[in-house]
Structure 1
C-alpha cells in the first residue's frame, strides 16, 4: 500500500453520532482543510461587507445616486462569475489548495486598493477586480472540504463552512462600528477597505498545512476531462448546469438584495445611526449563523431539495414582513431581523454539498464554480433594480424584489435530482 493510501486510511474515521460527528469524520487532514476553507470564506465575507456597510459614506463622499451605489455591488457580483469560472477550472487543473490561495490573495489585494480610489470610476474598477477573487473562493473551498467529508455528514460539514459567512459579516460590522465612531466618514470608509488585507495571513496557514483530499486528487489527475469547460455543457451534464444556474440565480438574487440594501434601509428610512445599525444587524447576523448550522443539519435529514424549498418559502415571507412594518416600529424591525437572517442563510447550507454531488470529480470545480457564480452574476441584477427603483418606491418597497428570487429557486428544483447520501465519483 502506498504512503498516500496509508495516510488516507488513517484519516478515515467512523462517522459515529453526536453533534460533532461530522468534524471527527473529516480526519486530521480534513480538519486542517476545514480550517483553511472556513477562514477563507469568513474573510471573503468580511471583504465583501466593507462596501455595503460603508455605502452611505461612500455615496456622500463621491456624490452618488442610489443607482450608482447599487452598481458598485452589481459589478462585483457580475465579475465574480468570471472569477468563479476561472477558479473552478483552476481547481480542477492545478488542485483545490493552490486555487484557494490564488483567490484569497486576489480578493484581499483589490479590497485594499479600493481604499485608495481617488474617484468613483476607479473604485468601480477595483471593486470589479475584487470580484475575481471573491467569486472563486467559496466554490474552491467548498469542494476542498466536500471531498474530505463523508456522504452521511456532508450537508452538516458544508453548512458549517457556510456559517463562516456570518462570522466574517459580524467581524465587519464590529470593525465598521468602531471605525465610524472614531473617524470622520470621509476617512472611515477608506480604513474599512484597508483592513481587507487580513486574508493575506490566512494564505501562510493554507500553504503550510492544507492539502487536497488524496483519493479525489487521484481521480482528478487520472481524468482526461479535468477542468474542461465544455464538459459541463455536454448532454449528460447540460440539464444539471442550466438548472443549477437558475437555482443559484434565485437564491443569490434574493440574498444579495437584502445584504446590500438593508444597512441603507435602516439608515435612510429608519433614521438609525451607524452604531444603531450595527446593533440591528447583530440580530440579523446571529440569526444567519444559527441558520447556516441548522440548514446544514436539515439538508442531511430532509434532503437537499426539501431544505432549499422550505427556506425559499420562509425567506420570501420574511422579506415581505420585514419591508412592510409600519413607520416607527423599530423594535419590530429588530425582532424580525433574527428570523430573516436565519431563513435567508439556512437556504445556502445545502449548496456546497448539493453542487459538489451533482458533478464528477474531474469537473467538480468547473461545474460548481460556473453554476454558483453565474447565478450570482445574474442575481446581481436584483440589487441594481432596487437602487434604481428606490427613488420612487423607497428602499423598503424596492426590496420586495428579493422575494421574487426565492420563487425562481423553487422552480429550478424541479429540474435537479436529489443527491442526499450520494458518494462523490
Structure 2
C-alpha cells in the first residue's frame, strides 16, 4: 500500500504561498545572473577608461593594463565563480546535515555583503576578495533554494516552480544590462563601476528576513528529522496537511552506498552542468569582447596618445555594454519558455534539444566567420544575420541545459542527500565556469572567437550525449518515487516505500 505521507502536498493546487516561496528562493539567482553580466561590464569600464579616455583609476588600472593583464582580468572575472564551488559544496552538505532552514538566509547575507563591499573596494585585490565572499553566498544559494522549492512544490507544477526560481536569472540579466548601460552613460568611470557592483546587493538583501522565517520543509522535517509537528506546520503553509497515519522516516544511507546507488546519475547531473557552464560563463562574462569581434567595436580607432572626450567615451562605453547584453536579452525569453514547457515536455528532452541547438548555432556562426589568426575579419553572410544566430544560442542555453541542470538535481536524489547531490552537481558546473572564465582572455588573444565557438560546439555535443546516457526524467513523479526513496517505519508503523 502506498503510505507516502506527502500525497496531499503533491496533489495540492498552485497557490500564492507557492509563489511567495518562489520569490524568497529566487532573488539569489537574480543576483547571480546580474553578477555574471555586470562583472564583464565592470571589466570593460576599468580597461576601456584607460585605453580610450586616458583615465587611470587608482588601485585598478595598473593591474588590468600591462604584461600581467590577462592574469588579473581572468582572476577578477572568475574569483566569485571559484568560491561559489566552495559555497555549493559546503551549503549542500550542511543543508542535508543540519537542515535547509538552519542555513537559509546565511548565503543571502554573504551574497549581499560581498556585493556591497565589492563596490567600495579601494584596489583590485580587495575587489577580488570581496567578490570571493559574494561567490560563497551565490554558491550556497544553489542547493538550498532549489531543494526548498522542490520539497514544497506539488507534483504537477514542480518543474515549473523550480524553473521559476532559476528564471530570476533572466530578470537579473535584464537588470544588469540596464544598470550597466545607464551607469556607463551618465556616471564617470570611477563611479560607474562601483554603482554597478553595489546594486547587486539589493535583491539578496530584500529576502534575508523572509528566508529566516520560512519553516523547514515538510519532507526534511519528517523524513530526516522525524519532527512531525514541524512537518505539519510546513504543509499548513501550503494550505494542506500530511498523512501521518503511518509514521515513516527515510532510511539512513552511508555516503559510500549513496555513491554506489547514485553514482551514474551524479555523472549525469554533474558533468552535464560542467559542459553547460563552460559555454555559458565563458561567452557570458566576455560577451562584450565577443560581440565586439562580431559587430565591431563601438570605439573609434585612435592614434596612440589620443583620447576621447569624457562624454564621447561614456556614450561609446554604454553602447558597447548594451550590445554585449543583447544576447542576454534574447536569452531572457528562453528562461520563461522553459518554465512554460518544463512539466509538459519534460526536463530531459528540453536539456538535450538545448545542447544540440547550442552546438548547431556555434558551428554555423564559426563556419561563416572569416578570420585571420585570432582576429575576425568578416562573415560570409550579413554581419547582423551572424550576430542574430549567435544571440539565438542564448535562447537555447536558457530554454535548455542552463535551466534543466538546475531543476533535475533538486528532484532525483533522496531527502538525506538532496542538497548534497545538488551541491556537487552545481559545483561541477562552476568548475567548468571557472576554467572557461579564467582561460577566455588568453584564448581570445591566441586562437580567437572562431576556434572558441568550435570548441564549445564539441562540449555541447558531449553534454547532449551524457544527458541521454545518464539523466532520468522526473516529470509527473513524486520526489520519493523519482529518487527511489526508502521509507521505513517509525514508531512501529508498517514499511513504506517511494519506489
TM-score for the superposition, normalised by structure 1? 0.85
Task: Give the match for residue 162 of structure 1.
Answer: 166
Q: What SS class does the counterpart of residue 153 from structure 2 fall into?
A: coil
Displacement of 1:255 in angstroms is: 0.8
User: Structure 1 residue 172: deviation in Å?
Assistant: 1.1
- Decide whether the 8 Å contact of 2:40 with 2:285 is kept in 1: yes
1:110 is the counterpart of 2:164: no
Partner of 1:19: none
Choose which of 290, 293, 296 in structure 1 pairs with 2:336: 293
Q: TM-score, normalised by structure 2?
A: 0.74
Q: Which has more radius of gyration?
A: 2
1:334 CA displacement: 5.0
In structure 2, the residue matched to 1:262 is 287
Q: Which residue, 208, 211, 221 being the options, matches 1:206?
A: 211
Cα distance in 2, alignment partners of residues 108 and 395 from structure 1: 34
Q: Distance in 1 between matches of 2:254 and 2:405?
A: 20
Equivalent residue in structure 1 for 2:157, among 142, 153, 158: 153
Report the alpha carbon displacement of residue 289 of structure 1 after superposing the two structures with TM: 2.2
Task: Flag the 1:73–1:412 CA change in 2: closer, same or farther, 3 A.
Answer: farther
CA shift at 1:164, angstroms? 0.8
Distance 1:281 1:232, change over 3 A: farther
Report the counterpart of residue 31 of structure 2 in structure 1.
43
SS at match of 1:147: helix
2:135 equivalent in structure 1 = 131
Q: For 1:178-204, what per-residue CA distance to the aligned partner results, in whole angstroms no more than 9, with x for missing partners?
A: 111112223311221122321212213
Are the structure 2 counterparts of residues 214 and 28 from structure 1 closer, same or farther at C-alpha, using a change threshold of 3 Å? farther
* Contiguous gaps of at least 5 residues in structure 1: 15-24
Task: Map Cα deviations across residues 143-196 of structure 1 (whole Å, 9 max, x no partner).
Answer: 111112222322222222222101001101111111111122233112211223
Q: Does 1:341 align with 2:399?
A: no
Aligned partners of 2:278 and 2:432 also within 8 Å: yes
Which residue does the alignment assign to 1:241? 266
Task: Tell me, yes or no, if structure 1 residue 33 matches structure 2 residue 25.
Answer: no
Q: Is the 8 A contact 1:159 1:297 kept in 2?
A: no
**Of residues 74, 80, 84 in structure 1, which corresponds to 2:88?**
84
- C-alpha distance after superposition, 1:215-262 (max 9, x if no partner): 443223236888x99358531122222332211111111111111111
CA distance in 2, matches of 1:38, 1:197: 14
1:211-222 correspondence to structure 2 within 5 Å: 211-222=215-226
- Report the alpha carbon displacement of residue 97 of structure 1 after superposing the two structures with TM: 4.0
Change (3 A) 1:225 1:399: farther
Residue by residue over 1:358-415, the C-alpha shift from the partner in whole angstroms, topping out at 9 and shown as x without a partner, is 2001110111011112222134212223221211223454344332331231232212
Query: Aligned in 2, Cα 1:56/1:33: closer, same or farther, shift over 3 Å?
Result: same
Moved more, 79-88 or 327-336: 327-336
Change in 2 beyond 3 A, CA 1:320/1:360? same
The structural deviation recorded for 1:81 is 1.2
Judging changes above 3 Å, is the alpha-carbon distance between structure 1 residues 308 and 120 closer, same or farther for their aligned structure 2 residues?
A: same
Farther off after superposition, 98-107 or 249-258: 98-107
In structure 2, relative to structure 1, the CA distance for the partners of 1:162 and 1:355 (3 Å cut) is: same
Gaps of 5+ in 2: 51-60, 227-248, 299-315, 371-377, 481-499
CA distance in 1, matches of 2:257, 2:119: 38
The aligned counterpart of 2:297 is 271
Residue in structure 2 matched with residue 22 of structure 1 by the alignment = none
Q: How many Å apart are 1:135 and its aligned residue? A: 1.1
Q: Residue 161 of structure 1 aligns to a residue in which SS?
A: helix
Give the number of equivalent residue pairs: 407
Q: Is the 8 A contact 1:246 1:408 kept in 2?
A: no
Ranges of 4+ aligned residues in structure 1 off by more than 6 Å: 223-226
Equivalences for residues 366-405 of structure 1 within 5 A: 366-395=420-449, 397-405=451-459
In the alignment, is the contact (CA less than 8 A) between 1:103 and 1:132 conserved in 2?
yes
Does the 8 A contact of 2:174 with 2:332 survive in 1?
A: no
Closer/same/farther in 2, CA of residues 314 and 363 from structure 1, 3 Å limit? same
Asked whether the equivalents of residues 261 and 395 of structure 1 are also in contact (C-alpha less than 8 Å), the reply is no
Q: 1:233 to 1:274 in 2, by over 3 A?
A: farther
Match of 1:174 in 2: 178
Contact 1:252 1:405 in 2 (8 A): no
- Kindly indicate whether residue 470 of structure 2 is the aligned counterpart of residue 415 of structure 1: yes
Please give the secondary structure, in 2, of the residue aligned with 1:380: helix
Counterpart CA distance in 2 for 1:68 and 1:182 is 27
- On the 8 A contact 2:334/2:399 being kept in 1, the answer is yes
**For 1:150, what is the secondary structure of its paired residue?**
coil
